[in-house]
Structure 1
Amino acid sequence: MIERRDILIDGAWLPSAGDGMIEVENPVTEEIAATVPRGSAKDVERAATAAHAAFGSWSRSTLDERVQVLRSLADSIEKRADDISRTIVSELGEPLSIATAHQTLSTVNHLRSTAEELTKVDWDVRVGDTLVHRAPVGVVGAITPWNVPLLMIAMKVGAAIAAGCTVVLKGTEVAPMSSYYFAEATLDAGLPAGVFNLVSGDGPTIGEAIAAHPLVDMVSLTGSPRAGSRVMELASADVKRVALELGGKSPNLVLPDGDLERAVATGIADAFRNSGQVCGGLTRLLVPRSRLAETEELARAVAEKYVLGDPFDARTTLGPVINAAQRDRIRGLIRSGLEEGARLVTGGPEQPDGLERGYFVKPTVLTGSPRMRIAQEEIFGPVVTILPYETEDEAITIANDSKYGLAGAVWAASDERARDIALRLRTGRIRINGSPVNPRAPHGGFKLSGIGRENGRFGIEEFLEYQSIG
């Protein structure tokens, strides 16, 4: 078992001021894998003070200095990639063969990409006789989730320090070891003391203290709409900037002339990533009603190929969900779909055969209607809902019939046709005909999916303010 008792403040590992420890559970074995401090508001006070003191010098650092730090961060994480990946697997249960790329190497690539994109920001622009300058917003409070813990830290902290900001990070208490690995990497990379600070604890204590602290100028959070709303409420007292990524219920829209077989296979693979614990997963599959039976058979065949089990076994392709509460919630939503009249294509709410321990959920596909809970609520598990439609306009209406608007996909006979449809969707990131996600393009959503954008130069610009001089 891994035990951590310190937090990182002003470049030094110091004991937390909080009382007690948080136990981190392995979702496969249901045993305790690690413990971290249950911090207090005093920890946030120390971290925010250190970040505020460091801001003056770091905000005046050169772009070359920031580029070098980002590259050194990437190098440090890459050197420890195997250990980091295995630790994340123990916390999350994602199969090792997938987690190495999805969790760890993606972080390395993201930091290197951020270093490159930093040089593309227009820092100074002349507007007549006025100089328009981009200035760092200040001290950033970063609050990151458990589903992709290391990458989400890199997305927020990497962009913030690239912008010239200093950071107080609350890493997730559910899978906290990534935040410690990242903190160690900042020391290896030579980041000046106080530019990055790590506090440990739960959301109501640490997260709220960060959002409310007067020395924190901006809060960037990835989490639930409820958490985002609370951060906005607390930040409003000081009129802080906020950036929020809050989830999704993303449509995978297949037009009558689209490649149905590829759309189903690609969409289910996307929705089942990390056991379905991804904000942008394509969890609603919209297909012409005339092709519903064909879709169900294709979806059944794809879903039933997944192998559940030990994430360190190379044969495993789907791990557990994060904890008992999440498992029970997912199963409850599957049951609600059946009670509302959905048809079970495959899977279901029962414990998978041969797995007596671990928080596993059967890979599940249902056919339902747009107003069912399974078509409206973010399930955050390996569940896809097929939604048939009659006309193109009805398909677009169904796709937009969600309180979320994070991601989506469109399949059509031509990319031009797919783009025309994509422009009618109220969602932030839309893939067409199976195109890969561009990590340099902005990521973020509409409606309850949040405010602001991450990735590439757009993510860096999220942490900048405009100054007009002259």
Structure 2
Amino acid sequence: MTDVLRLYIDGAWTEPVEGRTADIVNPATGETTGQLALGNEADVDRAVEAAKRAFVSYSQLSVAERVELLEAIAAEYERRLDDMAAAVTADVGTPLFLARLSAEAAAGSVRELAEILGKYPFEERRGDYTVRKEPIGVCGLIPPWNYPALQMTEKVVPALAAGCTTVLKPAEIAPYSAQVFAEILHAAGVPQGAFNMVVGKGSVAGSALTKHPDVDMISFTGSTAVGIQVQKDAADTVKRVTQELGGKSAHIILPDADIETAVSMAVQGVISNSGQTCTAPTRTLIPSSRKDELVGAIAAAVQAVVVGDPLTQVFMGPVASERQWHTVQRYIQAGIDEGATLVAGGPGQPEGVKSGWFARPTVFADVTNDMTIAREEIFGPVMSLITYDTVDEAVDIANDSPYGLTAYVTGSDPEQVRDVAARVRAGQVLLNRVQPDLTAPFGGYKQSGNGRIWGVAGLEENLEVKAVVG
């Protein structure tokens, strides 16, 4: 890996207006691997101008032409899977096997969207009027860093599918992934100006994008605190804002759950990607009648997790940055200070690790739902085990959160599993599984955001509704 010093504007690689840069740091080693260009407000102006100009012609492409474009993007994505996986691992320390899986999922989602697009009814006659679905315009897209390949794809490609033009402000700590992504779209033949990319800081380039009067929609994924500011910045120009924000997802293990399934879901869901997953089921709700059995099994499984160099055969790599490592450490200490029982992991780095931002996979038992580690999103490999006496109590605990992104239910009785799923206030509920379906609508209740991504719902977020009467 090397420097990322150019922006992608109006179909070409271009130098930023200013020459300011920041270090690119490998989280597995702590070493600087290159320099990142920091785009500013003037660069955002250039990108938005190109997108606005391109919208006039790009929005008039036929559905068949857009389907063909998506298929070309998917084909190029598939050709660059190894490059994208390597970039993700270098950026944020995701183990290479998981980085590859996320890149494959991203490419697959493009093919699935091409199929959806080809069948979507953009015009429908209803009595004396016609309902048309038309592209909203210029979309400002701000994804997070934790699954960069998938999250850039889930924002940019549905907007292009809808006939919109785009300006992407990728996460500044995932620049190599952004570089590969832009190369994929360029090689696939995305028309000039339909896709633009300005790398840089969220507080500068991201803020300029959310405030820009010629941006018709902002799609943001990140923390709730930043999402609130994005909403405020966008309000002056009354642009549409869709957001996927924080989560503190509950995993309800029902009394009849198979222990192997329950433990596998709990550990995979929380520890995968070093816990840096907005949907991670970090509040694991266990029946008091099976407390000893489940605490012991989960603790043993977490203690067996192999942590190390993400380029080797490990399950967990580092967290993405020094800042994130210190955040995780503060939360682990808060759990200890507030009286939770540490049953696996703890503060500091794993044994034998001398460099890089590696945290210890950690499990707390005897957690109550008012503790800091149960209320706030940690974004690290920290699991809170909370006991309940009745299923009704479990549902109440699950819903007692400012967040409502995802929930998980594990149990052997299909009717009870579905009943609990219906009562949990979350945008998506996964039953006896941790892997989502990338065609199902995804988004949050409450402070976990608004709007939906993936599948038909993700396409429709980029469309305006027009009624033609008579």
Same fold (TM over 0.5): yes
Q: 1:85 to 1:422 in 2, by over 3 A?
A: same
Alpha-carbon deviation of 1:436?
Answer: 4.2
Matches within 5 A, 1:190-339: 190-314=189-313, 316-339=314-337
Alpha-carbon deviation of 1:265?
Answer: 1.5
**Secondary structure of the equivalent of 1:387?**
strand
Does the CA-based 8 Å contact 2:250-2:283 persist in structure 1?
yes
Does the CA-based 8 Å contact 1:33-1:90 persist in structure 2?
no
Alpha-carbon deviation of 1:435?
Answer: 6.8
Q: 1:436 to 1:98 in 2, by over 3 A?
A: closer
**Secondary structure of the equivalent of 1:325?**
helix
Q: Which residue of structure 1 aligns with residue 50 of structure 2?
A: 50
Q: CA offsets, 1:378-424, max 9 Å, x none?
A: 11111111000112221111001111111111123322221111111
Matches within 5 A, 1:388-467: 388-434=387-433, 436-467=435-466
What letter is aligned with 2:418? R
Q: Which moved more, 1:78-87 or 1:217-226?
A: 78-87
Q: Which residue of structure 1 aligns with residue 69 of structure 2?
A: 69
**Structure-2-length-normalised TM-score:** 0.98
Alpha-carbon deviation of 1:260?
Answer: 3.2
Counterpart CA distance in 1 for 2:252 and 2:10 is 49
Q: Which residue of structure 2 aligns with residue 348 of structure 1?
A: 346
Counterpart CA distance in 1 for 2:323 and 2:199 is 22
Counterpart CA distance in 2 for 1:415 and 1:373 is 33
Counterpart CA distance in 2 for 1:361 and 1:228 is 27
Alpha-carbon deviation of 1:119?
Answer: 2.4
Does the CA-based 8 Å contact 1:121-1:461 persist in structure 2?
no
Q: CA offsets, 1:319-355, max 9 Å, x none?
A: 0001111111111111111111100111001221100
What letter is aligned with 1:52? K
Alpha-carbon deviation of 1:433?
Answer: 2.3
Unmatched 5+ residue regions in structure 2? none
Is residue 2:369 matched to residue 1:374? Answer: no
Alpha-carbon deviation of 1:218?
Answer: 0.3
What letter is aligned with 2:32? I
Is residue 2:66 matched to residue 1:35? Answer: no
Counterpart CA distance in 1 for 2:433 and 2:169 is 35
**Secondary structure of the equivalent of 2:119?**
coil
Q: CA offsets, 1:345-383, max 9 Å, x none?
A: 110012211001111111111011111011111111111
Alpha-carbon deviation of 1:96?
Answer: 1.1
Counterpart CA distance in 1 for 2:441 and 2:324 is 29
**Secondary structure of the equivalent of 1:243?**
strand
**Secondary structure of the equivalent of 1:179?**
helix
Q: Which residue of structure 2 aligns with residue 177 of structure 1?
A: 176
Does the CA-based 8 Å contact 2:273-2:317 persist in structure 1?
yes
Counterpart CA distance in 2 for 1:51 and 1:469 is 27
Q: Which moved more, 1:453-462 or 1:81-90?
A: 81-90
Unmatched 5+ residue regions in structure 1? none
Q: Which residue of structure 2 aligns with residue 151 of structure 1?
A: 150
**Secondary structure of the equivalent of 1:234?**
helix
Counterpart CA distance in 1 for 2:80 and 2:468 is 45
Counterpart CA distance in 1 for 2:244 and 2:326 is 24
Same amino acid, percent of matched pairs: 42
Does the CA-based 8 Å contact 2:84-2:149 persist in structure 1?
no
What letter is aligned with 1:198? M
Is residue 2:125 matched to residue 1:120? Answer: no
Aligned pair count reads 468
Does the CA-based 8 Å contact 1:120-1:457 persist in structure 2?
no
Q: Which residue of structure 1 aligns with residue 95 of structure 2?
A: 95
Alpha-carbon deviation of 1:120?
Answer: 3.5
Counterpart CA distance in 2 for 1:225 and 1:253 is 24
Counterpart CA distance in 2 for 1:29 and 1:179 is 21
Counterpart CA distance in 1 for 2:206 and 2:95 is 30
Counterpart CA distance in 1 for 2:98 and 2:177 is 17
Does the CA-based 8 Å contact 1:210-1:216 persist in structure 2?
yes
Q: Which residue of structure 1 aligns with residue 12 of structure 2?
A: 12
Does the CA-based 8 Å contact 2:268-2:434 persist in structure 1?
no
Counterpart CA distance in 1 for 2:97 and 2:156 is 26
Does the CA-based 8 Å contact 2:90-2:176 persist in structure 1?
no
Does the CA-based 8 Å contact 1:268-1:283 persist in structure 2?
no
